[in-house]
Each structure stands twice: as C-alpha cells, then as structure tokens.
C-alpha cells in the first residue's frame, strides 16, 4: 500500500499542471535581461498539499523558493515576506487564503494561479498583492485550468457572478433577473456532477481590482489559450500601472 501511495504522489508531481508551472518559470528566467535577475513570481494555490508537491519540483529546477501559508505564525509570515522582498528567492508559494489585504508583494510582477476559486474576488485580492501602489512593472497573470473538468465550470460560474455585479452597478444592458435565470439547477449539476464539453471561452476584459488603492487596466492577453501538454491550458492577463 505504501508503494502505491508513493507512486500516486509521483504521478501528481509530474502532472500537466506541474509541468505548466515549471515551463512558465523557465520562460520568466529566459526573458530576463543579461546581468539582471528574473522577475519574481508568486504562485497561488488554495491547496497547501499541492504547494507541498510543487515546492520541491520548483527547487529541483534551480529556483530559490519561499512559502507563505496559514499554518505559519504572523511573525514567520513577516520574515518570509521580508526575505522575498530582499530578493532571497525568485518564487513565493502562497496559499490563496493567506493572501490578506495587508500583504504587500509588489516586488513581484508575475503571478500564477494554479487552480480557480469559485469567488473571483478572492483571486483578484491575491493578484492585488503584487498589483498595488509601488509596483513599477506590468503585472502578468497566468491562470492554469484543466480541460473538461470542474475547473472550467468554476470559471464559467465566476464570469456569471461578475455579470450579476456588473448588472447591479448598471454596467450592462442585461437585467439582474435575466442573468439570474442563467444560474439554474442545470448549472449546478454541471458544476458538481455532470461532465460536459466546455469550449475555451473568449477573452474578457479584466476589471480594475482596486487593491491597496492602486489602479489597473488591460485584459487577458489576445489570442486563444495556450495548450500545455494534452490537458492543461493557460489564460494570460496583464495589469498595467497608470
């Protein structure tokens, strides 16, 4: 049984999503100008177990890694942030719920969201740890999703929740009642049970998130989502300083 469990962990560690993270970090390193360190990157996941798995893989690829999660005391978190801001590591692994409003990671300009959270506001808050006052670079965000899984359906649900908010604020021609009709029992069945073919959605504008008083603009990078192996695909977006 122990051997079977070990093999299962090894399979997860070599998954398409893990490879996508390593590919993205390799790209960041390759884009660095000669004589200058690569842009720092923050990798978010809602699962600390996944951070346990990808941490050693990233280190094996030659990246210095730090970690921030809810199991650490406040003093420990402060030390991790200080070390990251001093440039002691190029990659910071962060559990999504640990990305509190007071956290300032504007030393990093690359963000990887490894799994979708049903509430898009939580993801925006995480991105705003890097995109905030004092940031001098474009903040580039990569979202990793697995085709034909619940992750696609969570992303669809995020977009519908955003549409409801936009309707409530009068930013769309649709009424709130009309949009609510789209959130049917069938949608919930699709989210939690039924598996259906979900085509990659069209890129949509990314609203200003307003974290830390900063301003944001831009949107998902033009073009179709990139294939990563045969399973994972990426959505890119950029948030620019004004």
Any idea what the CATH number is for the domain that residue 93 is in? 3.40.50.300
**The pLDDT of residue 101 is above 90:** no
Q: 152 and 87, same structural domain?
A: no
Q: 86 and 34, same structural domain?
A: yes
46-63 confidence digits (pLDDT tens): 999 999 999 999 999 999
126-145 confidence digits (pLDDT tens): 898 998 888 888 999 999 98
Confidence of residue 216 (pLDDT cuts 50, 70, 90): very low
Rounded to whole angstroms, how far apart are CA atoms 196 and 40? Answer: 37
Q: Which domain holds residue 109?
A: 2-146+200-239
Q: 216 and 159, same structural domain?
A: no
Q: 163 and 56, same structural domain?
A: no
Q: 162 and 121, same structural domain?
A: no
Q: 141 and 154, same structural domain?
A: no
Calculate ∠ Cα 29-32-38, nearest 5°.
60
30-41 confidence digits (pLDDT tens): 998 888 889 999
Q: 102 and 13, same structural domain?
A: yes
Q: 220 and 141, same structural domain?
A: yes
Q: 169 and 153, same structural domain?
A: yes
Our count of domains for the chain comes to: 2
- Give the residue from 36, 47, 50 showing the smallest Cα distance to 98: 47
What's this model's pTM, rounded to 2 decimal places?
Answer: 0.67
């Amino acid at each position: 049984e122990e051997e079977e469990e070990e093999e299962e962990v090894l399979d997860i560690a070599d998954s398409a999503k893990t490879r996508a993270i390593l590919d993205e970090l390799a790209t960041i390193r390759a884009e660095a100008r000669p004589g200058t360190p690569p842009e720092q990157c923050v990798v978010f996941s809602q699962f600390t177990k996944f951070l346990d798995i990808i941490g050693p893989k990233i280190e094996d690829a030659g990246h210095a890694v730090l970690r921030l999660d809810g199991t650490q005391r406040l003093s420990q978190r402060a030390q991790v942030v200080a070390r990251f801001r001093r440039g002691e590591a190029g990659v910071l692994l962060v559990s999504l719920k640990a990305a509190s409003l007071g956290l300032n990671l504007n030393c990093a300009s690359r963000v990887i969201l490894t799994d979708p959270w049903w509430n898009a506001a939580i993801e925006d808050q995480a991105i705003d740890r890097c995109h905030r006052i004092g940031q001098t670079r474009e903040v580039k965000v990569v979202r990793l999703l697995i085709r034909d899984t619940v992750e696609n359906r969570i992303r669809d649900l995020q977009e519908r929740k955003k549409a409801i908010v936009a309707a409530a604020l009068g930013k769309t021609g649709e009424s709130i009642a009309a949009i609510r009709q789209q959130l049917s029992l069938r949608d919930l069945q699709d989210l939690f049970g039924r598996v259906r073919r979900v085509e990659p959605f069209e890129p949509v504008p990314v609203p200003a998130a307003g974290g830390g008083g900063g301003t944001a603009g831009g949107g998902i990078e033009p073009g179709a989502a990139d294939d990563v192996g045969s399973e994972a695909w990426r959505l890119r977006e950029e948030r620019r300083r004004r």
